[in-house]
Amino acid sequence: MEDGGPQAERSRRLATQGLLNSLPKPVKDVKSVVRAPPPPSCVSGCCVESTRLADERDFLRGYTERLLVQLRTLLQRYGELEKLKTLADAAQDDEMMQERLAPWLTASEYANPLLQAYDLKIQELEIAVGDNKKAMDRAAARAEGLAKENTALRQELEAAAEKMVLRMQNEPKAMNDDWMNIQENGEYLQEINERIDVLMAENNMLMEQVSLQDDEIGAMKKELMDRDQQLQVMGQNFNDATLALQELRDACSQVREEKTHCERQLQRYAASIAQLESAKDSLVEQTDAVRRERDSLEIRLGEYEEMLEKMKMGGERKDENFSVRYQSVCIRLRELTNALEQKDMTVDELQEQNSELQAEFEAVRQDCEGMLNVMNSMEKQLTQYCAREDAVAEERVSSLERELEMRRTEAREAKDESEEQHRKVQLLNDQLNKVKADCANRFTNEFEVLHQQNRDLKAQAGELEYKLSQAKKESVSALNSSQNERERCEMARKKLEEYRSSSYSFIPFSHSRMQPDNFDRKEPLSGTTRIEATEKLDPAEKSKIDYHTPT
């Protein structure tokens, strides 16, 4: 207990103040104790800080709360619930606390002397406990000495008794003589008996003293245990009090730091408030200017919305006009495609007619070959002429077929281009709808782009119309050329028929009777007849005949 922490330190500190205040005194004497010389620096510093910062009330409140906890446990143990209900609430307001508690519990001038008296009482109890421990140690040492002496005497008696028994067994005569001498010396024996009685009485007294000392030692141990428990409880309470004082000291320093910090923050806030007040006027002016500007912008926004609605309506009208024109162009393209298909059908018919003419021409050529088999020289000339005519006709027909195929492919390409343009226009319409829905702010540029695209589409449509007109003209020219070929073939067929009829009517059975003047066509053997025959033909056939005629 001497090295028992803060409680021992507190007791040693208070022991230096004297033993004058060991008992509680009246109120007047208590005030004189308060005005006594201050305790050591640590206690005085704590008291000054606690009184200066007005935190002693909190300390006493915590102390009373701990006392109330102990009282609550006692009341629960003894079943006094009504008092428990009145004392359970330790967190009531200050007025209820002052009405319920005694005044000496909340005043430092009463509580400090009481705590000092408790410390002095604890110190006296510690001194008494030390004295009792020393007395117990002395009594225990005395009892141990008496017990050792008693055991020694008992051992001596036992040894003497054993010696006597052995002597009686070994030397009975000498023993009898001794007994006789002892009987003769009765006084000596009586003295020995008296000494034995005295020793036995002393032994009994010592045994009683030992038992009494044992009882006293047990009682002192119990009392010592009780006092130890009381000292532990009080030491724990005072340790709590010292910890509370330390916490109060730390809280005071923390409160002081927080106070300085709050003062600094208050100064900063005051400066910032002054700055904000100064900036408030400028912000009010700026808000007024912004409000006026907002009103003007709202007016302009309404005008722009009206303009946007007008431009949207104009764009919709333009889109409707463009869609109407596009539908008319599509109808025109459909008509042109139908006309082109009709032209293709006519070309196919012309090809069939041409094939029929070729078949007829082959039949005529075979007839001519049969006729020329009869004739010698005329047959060769006729076969050569027929071969040349066939080659020319085949080349012309093949060229016409190739040209027709080219025209047909061009017509198909024009049709594909028109369909592609139709798809492009559809995509442009979709893009235009998206632009109308999402990008109203950029309507002018989009309309210009769409107008440009419309102009491009118009130009492309014009080009397609021009191509279709050119294809139509080419198809017409091809039809005309095929018709001319057909006419030439008809003329050639007629001439061949005339030639065949004339050859059948004028052919003699000998070569001497054949004359070249009887033929309507030219004779390749004589130059005059060839010139006359070529003059009867049209210029195109004349040029071909001149080109294909061998020299």
- Alpha-carbon distance of 358 to 398, in angstroms, equals 12
Minimum mean pLDDT range among 30-34, 76-80, 200-204, 479-483: 30-34
Q: Which two tokens stand for residue 84?
A: 């428990």
pTM for the complete prediction? 0.23
Helices (H) and strands (E) in the chain, counts: 14, 0
Q: Chain-wide mean pLDDT for the chain?
A: 70
- Alpha-carbon distance of 235 to 123, in angstroms, equals 12
- 3-state helix/strand/coil string of 375-435: CCHHHHHHHHHHHHHHHHHHHHHHHHHHHHHHHHHHHHHHHHHHHHHHHHHHHHHHHHHHH
Q: pLDDT at position 435, please?
A: 60
Residue 226 has pLDDT above 80, yes or no: yes
Question: What's the CA dihedral at 32, 38, 44, 50 to 10 degrees?
Answer: 20
Domains in the chain: ranges and CATH: 6-171 (no CATH), 318-516 (1.20.1270), 521-551 (no CATH)
Q: How confident is the model at residue 27 (pLDDT cuts 50, 70, 90)?
A: very low
Report which of 120, 97, 101, 99 is spatially closest to residue 13, judged by C-alpha positions.
Answer: 120
Q: How confident is the model at residue 528 (pLDDT cuts 50, 70, 90)?
A: very low
Q: pLDDT at position 308, please?
A: 85
Task: Considering only CA atoms, give the Rg of the chain.
Answer: 76
Residue 521 has pLDDT above 60, yes or no: no
Which of left, alpha, beta for 192 (phi over 0: left; psi -120 to 50: alpha)?
alpha
63-88 pLDDT per residue, tens: 777 777 777 776 666 666 565 555 55
405-450 pLDDT per residue, tens: 887 787 778 777 777 777 777 777 677 667 656 655 665 666 677 6
Q: How confident is the model at residue 529 (pLDDT cuts 50, 70, 90)?
A: very low
| Total length of the chain | 551
